[in-house]
Amino acid sequence: MSLDPKLLDVLACPKDKGPLEYLEDEQVLVNKRLKLAYRIDDGIPVLLIDEATPWPKP
């Protein structure tokens, strides 16, 4: 499942308010500056700081 490009234009990282990059193959939104990934559950981005995981995965 892919995300609507219009949605990506308005989504921001909750930690630094910067843009996120969508990695379709991993189904995550990534903040490359902070090296954090936010999962996508059933097409819904989970943009909770406490739910973010390190990226890339160790």
The domain ranges of the chain are 5-54
pTM above 0.85, yes or no: yes
Structure tokens at 32: 């490359």
> Which residues, listed in sequence order, are joined to residue 36 by a DSSP beta bridge?
31, 54
Position 10 confidence tier, pLDDT thresholds 50, 70, 90: very high
State the DSSP H helix or E strand holding residue 6, giving kind and residue range, or none if neither: helix 5-10
CB 53 within 8 A of CB 36: yes
8 vs 41: CA distance, rounded Å: 15
Q: Is 38 helix (H, G, I), strand (E, B) or coil?
A: strand
Position 4 confidence tier, pLDDT thresholds 50, 70, 90: confident
Helices (H), 11-47: none
CATH topology of domain 5-54: N-terminal domain of TfIIb (2.20.25)
Segment 37-57 shows an average pLDDT of 95
**Residue 58 confidence (pLDDT) above 80:** no
